């Protein structure tokens, strides 16, 4: 099953990869709309789904948050900012031995895991510092 590259699909992929950010579907919609004004939000959603299904991009489902899409399809972890919602990639060694050992106790057959590190990004730290000075 060969993946046909339509103009819309290509544009969506290009803008995601070019910007190297973890966009939500509607953020990407706003960007692409400027270059292709008649594109539909549903098309963005559908193509992001298709592209991640095909392993060309990654899908990022962070707990309790809107879906984001990752220009890098390789398996890796993420860190995200609780203030501005920004997401960045992490490359933590994925041995996960302890997780597997514990999973056996519960009787699970483990296929993987997801690690989300939570914090405040540099930008938001700076903004907070600036605010403190004013007071």
Partner DNA sequence: CTACAATTAGTATTGATTATTAATAGTAGG
Partner DNA sequence: CCTACTATTAATAATCAATACTAATTGTAG
Residues that bind DNA (CB under 7 A): 3-4, 6-9, 24-26, 36, 38-43, 45-47, 49, 66-67
Q: Which parts of this chain interact with its own copies (CB under 8 A)?
A: 61-65, 67, 77, 79, 81-82, 88, 90-93, 96, 98-99, 102-103, 106-122, 125
- Tokens at residue 127, please? 């903004």
- Given a contact cutoff of 8 angstroms between Cβ atoms, the answer to whether 81 and 119 are in contact is yes
Q: Which does 134 bind (CB under 5 to 8 A by kind): its own copies, DNA, none?
A: none
Cβ burial of 95 (10 Å; 0-12, 13-18, 19+) is exposed
Q: Whole-number minimum distance, CB 99 to its own copies, in Å? A: 5
Output 20 or 114, the one with its CB closest to its own copies: 114
Q: Whole-number minimum distance, CB 64 to DNA, in Å? A: 8
Task: For residue 77, report the phi and psi dihedrals to the nearest 5 degrees.
Answer: -100, 175
Q: Whole-number minimum distance, CB 100 to DNA, in Å? A: 29
Q: Whole-number minimum distance, CB 62 to its own copies, in Å? A: 6
Dihedral over Cα of 124, 125, 131, 135: its sign: positive
Cβ neighbors of 109 (< 8 A, separation 6 or more) are 103
């Amino acid at each position: 099953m060969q993946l046909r590259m339509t103009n819309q699909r290509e544009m969506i992929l290009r803008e995601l990869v070019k910007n190297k950010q973890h966009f939500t579907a509607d953020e990407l919609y706003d960007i692409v709309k400027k270059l292709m004004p008649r594109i539909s939000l549903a098309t963005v959603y559908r193509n992001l789904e298709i592209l991640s299904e095909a392993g060309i991009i990654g899908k990022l489902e962070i707990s309790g948050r809107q879906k984001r899409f990752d220009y890098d399809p390789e398996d890796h972890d993420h860190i995200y900012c609780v203030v501005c919602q920004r997401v960045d990639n992490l490359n933590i060694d994925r041995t996960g031995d302890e997780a597997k050992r514990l999973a056996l106790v519960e009787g699970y057959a483990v296929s993987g895991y997801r690690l989300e590190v939570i914090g405040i990004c540099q930008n938001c730290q700076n903004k907070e510092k600036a605010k403190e000075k004013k007071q």
